[in-house]
Structure 1
Amino acid sequence: MSERHLDPVLSAGWHALSGDEVGQILQTGPDGLSDDEALRRLGQYGSNRLAPPARRGPLARLLMQFHNILLYVMLGAAIITAALGHWIDTGVLLVAVLINVIIGFIQEGKAETALDAIRAMLSPHATVIRAGHRREIDAAGLVPGDLVFLSSGDRVPADLRLVSVRELRIEEAALTGESLPIEKGTEPVGVDAALGDRYGMAYSGTFVVYGQAMGIVVATGSKTELGRINQMLADIRRMSTPLLRQIDEFGRVLALTIIGLSAATFVLGTLWRDHAPAEMFMMVVALAASAIPEGLPAIMTVTLALGVQRMARRKAIVRHLPAVETLGSVTVICSDKTGTLTCNEMTVQRFVCAGHVFDVGGVGYAPAGDFSIDDRIVEVEHYPALSLAIRAGVLCSDARLREEDGLWRVEGDPTEGALLVAGRKAGFSQHAGDTAWPRTDAIPFESQHRFMATSHLDPDGDPWIFVKGAPERILDMCEFQLNHDGERPLDIDYWRRMATDTAAQGLRLLALACKRSAPVAGPLSFADAEHGYVFLALVGIIDPAREEAIDAVGECHRAGIRVKMITGDHGETARAIGAQLAIGVGKPFITGAEVAVMDDAALRRVAMELDVFARASPEHKLRLVKALQDDGQVVAMTGDGVNDAPALKRADVGVAMGLKGTEAAKEAADMVIADDNFATIATAVREGRAVYDNLKKFILFMLPTNGGEALVVIAAILFELALPLTPAQVLWINMVTSSTLGLALAFEPAEGDVMNRHPRPPGEALLSGFFIWRVLMVSVLMMTGALGLFLWELDMGTSVETARTMAVDAVVMAEMFYLLNSRFIFAPVTNWKGLTSNRHVLLAITACIPLQIAYTHADFMHGIFNSTALTPMEWSKVVAAGLLVFVVAELEKFFIRRSGLAARLSHA
Structure 2
Amino acid sequence: MNDAAATPAAHPAYDTAPVVPAAEWHALTHEEVAGRLAVAASGLSVEEAAARLARHGPNALPEPPGRHPLLRFFTQFNSALIYFLLAGAAAALALGHHIDAGVILAVVLINAAVGFVQEGKAEQALRAIRSMIAPHASVMRASRRVSVHAHQLVPGDIVLLEAGDRVPADTRLIRARGMLIDEAILTGESVAAAKREEPAASGAPLGDRHSMAFSGTTVAAGQGTGIVVSTGPHTEIGRIGRLIAEVEPLATPLLRQVDAFARRFTWLAIGGAAALFLFAVGVRDYGWTDALIAVVALAVGVVPEGLPAVITITLAIGVRRMAARNAVIRRLPAVETLGATSVICSDKTGTLTRNEMTARRLILARGGDIVEIEVSGTGYAPEGELAWQGAGDPAIEADELLRCGLLCNDAHLHNEKGIWRVEGDPMEGALVSLAVKAGLSPAVERGSWGRLDEIPFDAAYRFMASLHRGPQGEAAIFVKGAPEDVLAICYEPGGLWEAAIARAAAQGERLLGFAAKRLDAPPARLDFPDVSEGCDFLGLIGFIDPPRPEAVAAIAECRSAGIAVTMITGDHAATAGAIARQLGLADDPVVVTGAQVDAASDADLVGIAARTAVFARTSPENKLRIVRALQSTGAVVAMTGDGVNDAPSLRQADVGIAMGRKGTEAAKQAAEVVLLDDNFASIVAAVKEGRTVYDNIRKMIAWTLPTNGGEVLAVIAAILLGITMPMSPAQILWINLILSATLGLALAFEPTEPGIMARPPRPSRTGLLTRFMLWRVVLVSLLFTLVAFAMFALSLWRGQGLEMARTIVVNTLVVMEIFYLFNVRFLHMNSITWRGALGTPAVLVALVAVVAGQFAFTYLPVMQAIFDTRPIAFLDGVMIVAVGVGLMVVLELEKALLRRLGVFTAAQM
Same fold (TM over 0.5): yes
Displacement of 1:148:
1.0
Give matches, 1:447-846, under 5 Å. 447-479=459-491, 490=492, 492-519=494-521, 521-825=523-827, 827-846=829-848
CA distance, structure 1, for counterparts of residue 789 and residue 779 of structure 2: 15
CA distance, structure 2, for counterparts of residue 148 and residue 194 of structure 1: 24
Inter-CA distance 39–528: structure 2 relative to 1 (3 Å threshold): closer
Amino acid across the alignment from 1:596: D
- The answer for the alignment partner of 2:398 in structure 1 is 386
- The answer for the alignment partner of 2:107 in structure 1 is 99
- The answer for the alignment partner of 2:385 in structure 1 is 370
Moved more, 851-860 or 124-133: 851-860
Q: Deviations over 1:293-332 (max 9, x none)?
A: 2222111111111111111111111111112121222111
Contact map agreement 1:88 1:864 (CA 8 A) in 2? no
Contact map agreement 2:43 2:157 (CA 8 A) in 1? yes
SS for the counterpart of 1:465 is strand
Displacement of 1:643:
0.9
Inter-CA distance 58–297: structure 2 relative to 1 (3 Å threshold): farther
Displacement of 1:808:
2.3
Displacement of 1:440:
2.2
- The answer for the alignment partner of 1:883 in structure 2 is 885
Amino acid across the alignment from 1:95: V
The one of 121, 129, 136 aligned to 2:132: 121
Inter-CA distance 603–321: structure 2 relative to 1 (3 Å threshold): same
- The answer for the alignment partner of 1:317 in structure 2 is 328
Displacement of 1:472:
2.3
Contact map agreement 1:340 1:640 (CA 8 A) in 2? no
CA distance, structure 1, for counterparts of residue 741 and residue 777 of structure 2: 17
Percent of counterpart pairs with the same letter?
47
SS for the counterpart of 2:695 is helix
1:295 is aligned to 2:306 = yes
SS for the counterpart of 1:472 is helix
- The answer for the alignment partner of 1:154 in structure 2 is 165
Q: Deviations over 1:349-381 (max 9, x none)?
A: 12101242122223332323322337x9x98x5
- The answer for the alignment partner of 1:339 in structure 2 is 350
CA distance, structure 2, for counterparts of residue 261 and residue 828 of structure 1: 36
CA distance, structure 2, for counterparts of residue 894 and residue 11 of structure 1: 64
The one of 419, 437, 460 aligned to 1:425: 437
Displacement of 1:387:
2.0
SS for the counterpart of 1:6 is coil
SS for the counterpart of 2:454 is strand
- The answer for the alignment partner of 1:225 in structure 2 is 236
CA distance, structure 2, for counterparts of residue 367 and residue 210 of structure 1: 26
Contact map agreement 1:265 1:284 (CA 8 A) in 2? yes
Displacement of 1:30:
1.7
Contact map agreement 1:519 1:525 (CA 8 A) in 2? no
Contact map agreement 1:713 1:723 (CA 8 A) in 2? yes
- The answer for the alignment partner of 2:4 in structure 1 is none
Displacement of 1:621:
0.1
Contact map agreement 1:174 1:643 (CA 8 A) in 2? yes
CA distance, structure 2, for counterparts of residue 902 and residue 779 of structure 1: 20
CA distance, structure 2, for counterparts of residue 127 and residue 307 of structure 1: 50
- The answer for the alignment partner of 2:295 in structure 1 is 284
CA distance, structure 2, for counterparts of residue 470 and residue 75 of structure 1: 69
SS for the counterpart of 1:477 is coil
Contact map agreement 1:92 1:728 (CA 8 A) in 2? no
Contact map agreement 2:788 2:813 (CA 8 A) in 1? yes
The one of 398, 406, 409 aligned to 1:397: 409
Contact map agreement 1:307 1:324 (CA 8 A) in 2? yes
Moved more, 146-155 or 886-895: 886-895
Moved more, 623-632 or 385-394: 385-394
Could you tell me which runs of 5 or more consecutive residues in structure 1 were left unpaired when the two chains were aligned.
480-489
Displacement of 1:734:
2.1
Inter-CA distance 132–327: structure 2 relative to 1 (3 Å threshold): same
Runs of 4+ in 1 over 6 A off after TM superposition: none
Inter-CA distance 61–305: structure 2 relative to 1 (3 Å threshold): farther
CA distance, structure 2, for counterparts of residue 34 and residue 8 of structure 1: 20
Displacement of 1:205:
0.5
CA distance, structure 2, for counterparts of residue 126 and residue 574 of structure 1: 36
Q: Deviations over 1:522-568 (max 9, x none)?
A: 33333332444332111112333222222221221111111111111
SS for the counterpart of 2:77 is coil
Inter-CA distance 194–827: structure 2 relative to 1 (3 Å threshold): closer
CA distance, structure 2, for counterparts of residue 51 and residue 5 of structure 1: 20
SS for the counterpart of 1:442 is strand
SS for the counterpart of 1:516 is strand
Inter-CA distance 135–795: structure 2 relative to 1 (3 Å threshold): same
Moved more, 621-630 or 768-777: 768-777
The one of 255, 261, 282 aligned to 1:250: 261
CA distance, structure 1, for counterparts of residue 906 and residue 637 of structure 2: 26
Amino acid across the alignment from 2:157: D
Amino acid across the alignment from 2:604: A
- The answer for the alignment partner of 1:484 in structure 2 is none
CA distance, structure 1, for counterparts of residue 787 and residue 285 of structure 2: 28
Q: Deviations over 1:701-748 (max 9, x none)?
A: 111111111011101111222333344433332233134102222222
Contact map agreement 1:584 1:612 (CA 8 A) in 2? no
Moved more, 72-81 or 339-348: 72-81
Normalising by structure 1, what TM-score? 0.93
Amino acid across the alignment from 1:258: A
Inter-CA distance 215–716: structure 2 relative to 1 (3 Å threshold): same
Contact map agreement 2:306 2:741 (CA 8 A) in 1? yes
Contact map agreement 1:709 1:783 (CA 8 A) in 2? yes
Q: Deviations over 1:392-433 (max 9, x none)?
A: 101001222223343333233222222122222223243222
The one of 411, 423, 427 aligned to 1:415: 427
Displacement of 1:605:
0.8
Amino acid across the alignment from 2:379: G
Contact map agreement 2:60 2:233 (CA 8 A) in 1? yes
Compute the RMSD of aligned alpha carbons. Answer: 2.5
Normalising by structure 2, what TM-score? 0.93
Moved more, 854-863 or 238-247: 854-863
SS for the counterpart of 1:512 is strand
Inter-CA distance 405–642: structure 2 relative to 1 (3 Å threshold): farther
Displacement of 1:885:
2.3
SS for the counterpart of 1:448 is coil
Inter-CA distance 728–120: structure 2 relative to 1 (3 Å threshold): farther
Could you tell me which runs of 5 or more consecutive residues in structure 2 were left unpaired when the two chains were aligned.
1-7
The alignment of Structure 1 onto Structure 2 pairs a total of residues equal to: 891
- The answer for the alignment partner of 2:902 in structure 1 is 901
SS for the counterpart of 2:351 is helix
Contact map agreement 2:772 2:904 (CA 8 A) in 1? no
Moved more, 168-177 or 689-698: 689-698
SS for the counterpart of 1:28 is coil
CA distance, structure 2, for counterparts of residue 771 and residue 657 of structure 1: 37
Q: Deviations over 1:602-655 (max 9, x none)?
A: 010111111111111001100000000001111111121111111111111111
Inter-CA distance 398–235: structure 2 relative to 1 (3 Å threshold): same
Amino acid across the alignment from 2:447: T
Contact map agreement 1:109 1:320 (CA 8 A) in 2? no
SS for the counterpart of 1:339 is coil
The one of 350, 363, 370 aligned to 2:361: 350
